[in-house]
Amino acid sequence: MGKTAVFVLSTLQQIEPVAGQAAALVLCHTRELAYQSFRVVQLLSHVLVLQSR
């Protein structure tokens, strides 16, 4: 989770949330990496009061 968490945190810190709009799009090489990134976003977005889909 280390490298993924660093990537996700740096992305989440740059977001300025606007209700009802996407704030970030993360593209990954593999489905497994996409799922791992999504899980880390879900975990860390609760701390930063963001919503992931």
Q: What is the spatial distance between Cα 14 and Cα 10, in angstroms, rounded to a whole number?
A: 7
Q: What is the pLDDT of residue 50?
A: 61
Which parts of the chain fold into alpha helices (H)? 2-13, 31-47
CA distances from 50 to 35, 45, 47 (A): 18, 5, 8
**Above 80 in pLDDT, residue 6?**
yes
Q: What is the pLDDT of residue 35?
A: 96
Report helix, strand or coil for 39. helix
Q: What is the pLDDT of residue 34?
A: 95
pLDDT tens, position by position, 13-49: 888 878 888 888 999 999 999 999 999 998 887 777 6
Structural domains counted in the chain: 1
**Above 80 in pLDDT, residue 9?**
yes
- The answer to whether 1 and 39 are in contact (CB under 8 A) is no
Quote the domain boundaries for residue 29. Answer: 3-52
